[in-house]
Amino acid sequence: MNLSMDYEARKMINNIFHKKVSIKPVGNHDLERHMVYVVTDEENHAVVFKLYFKKNRWNREVAALRMLSKSEVKVPKLLDYGIQKEKEWMITEFIEGNTFSTVQEKVSMENQWEIFKEMGKELGKMHSLKIFDFFGNWDENGNPLDEGKSYREVFQNRYDTVVKTLFKKKLPHRELHKKWVRYIEKNIYILEDVKTAVLCHNDYDMRNVMIKKVHNGWCFRGIIDFEQSFPWDKDLDLVYLYYILSIKGEGHEKSFLKGYEEMSKLEDSFYKKIKFYLAYIGLYICSWAYDIAPDHYRNGLNILRELMEEGKNGELISR
């Protein structure tokens, strides 16, 4: 943990709350994107406080939670937010429970199928809320920030930044990265048909889902961490979770899609774009994770390597 960032966050918490509270750090502080704490007062009322240290995280999360507050999607309530001494902060409801990723091994297989189906339903609800007239980043009031009207234009801008960052760092596995850069550039035409923008989470997996133990089972409690959220192509929002569930071969991806299709239509384009989007996701992870999150870097690398095997052995992911 960065001690100076921790000190700054605790000082701000005391300035904002103006009362005696206990402060417990949670989240991935080592990534130095933000600092997250559960703040509990003397009446044992707990909330979550988040202080942001990276640009374009606070505005996304505030805008998404403001919109979702009017929906039936299970998310924490946005309680307060602001900017103090040029630092952006937010307070949300505390959702009691555990992240699915930390307790998955304790959950029975049948119970997991139920939770993955619920995850699909909640994402389907989110994708069905509203159609936007723009793609990409937005401010805290929901106004567009990215240049370019078409999805391909906005995606291309983001992709170019990923590639620039990736090769500027002179990382190992450069030839593997180059292969998939060439693949994306050759196949980017498939994005021409993307015309519909919906609210996407853009980091939807078990790390960002809260579940709670109830009697002899576990139940879905809510979705957290909307700092990557903005209007985007819903197919990209589905791909990563579908992929990591598919490679386990336990049928979880079927439960996930079954729940999703109860709330939103799954387009044929999803299957056509799986390989393209996985290549992009793999390159994106590799572009930022090598120095600060080696495990994430290996995950990105594994995606690209498994896509290589797909070309040799047939379909990695089948319909």
172-189: per-residue pLDDT in tens? 999 999 999 999 999 999
Tens digit of each residue's pLDDT (9 = 90 or more) over 97-117? 999 999 999 999 999 999 999
In this predicted model, what pLDDT tens digit does every residue of 27-45 receive, in sequence order? 777 767 789 999 999 999 9
For 81, list phi and psi in degrees, rounded to 5. -160, 160
Position 92 confidence tier, pLDDT thresholds 50, 70, 90? very high
What does the mean pLDDT of the chain come to? 93
Q: Between vectors from CA 104 to CA 99 and to CA 107, what angle results, nearest 5°?
A: 115
Amino acid at 150: S
DSSP readout, 63-124? HHHHHHTTSSS--PPEEEEEEETTEEEEEEE---SEEHHHHGGGS-HHHHHHHHHHHHHHHH
Orientation of helix 151-168 relative to helix 174-187, angle to 10°: 170
Give the pLDDT of residue 315: 53
Top pLDDT among 98 and 1 is at 98
Is residue 139 predicted with pLDDT exceeding 80?
Answer: yes
Residue 146: phi and psi, rounded to 5, are: -80, 150
pLDDT at position 288: 94
pLDDT at 261: 98
Are 197 and 135 contacting, i.e. CB atoms less than 8 angstroms apart? yes
Torsion of CA 305, 306, 308, 313, to 10 degrees: 150
Q: In what helix (H) or strand (E) does residue 230 lie, and over which residues does it extend?
A: strand 230-232
Residue limits of CATH 3.30.200.20 in the chain: 3-93
Q: Where in the chain is the domain with CATH 3.90.1200.10?
A: 98-313
- For residue 264, the model assigns a pLDDT of 97
Buried b (16+ CB within 10 A) or exposed e, 281-307: bbbbbbbbbbeebeebbebbbebbeeb
The more confident residue out of 314 and 119 is 119
- Name the fold adopted by 3-93: Phosphorylase Kinase; domain 1 (3.30.200)
pLDDT tens digits along 186-235: 999 999 999 999 999 999 999 999 999 998 899 999 999 999 999 999 99
The percentage of residues in the chain with a pLDDT greater than 70, rounded to a whole number, is: 96
Residues in Cβ contact with 156 at an 8 Å cutoff, skipping those fewer than 6 apart: 148, 188
**Residue 317, Cβ neighbours under 10 Å: how many?**
18
Question: What was the pLDDT predicted at 311?
Answer: 55
pLDDT at 58 over 70: yes
pLDDT given for residue 97 in this prediction: 96
State the Cα–Cα distance between residues 67 and 59, nearest whole angstrom.
Answer: 12
pLDDT higher than threshold 50 for residue 314:
no
Is 60 exceeded by the pLDDT of residue 249?
yes
Please give the Cα distance from 300 to 33 (Å, whole number): 19
pLDDT-derived band at 318, boundaries 50, 70, 90: very low
Element (H, E) at 273: helix 269-289
Strand partners, 222: 210
CATH of domain 98-313: 3.90.1200.10
- DSSP-based three-state secondary structure for 135: coil
Q: How many residues does the chain have?
A: 319
First to last CA, the chain: 43
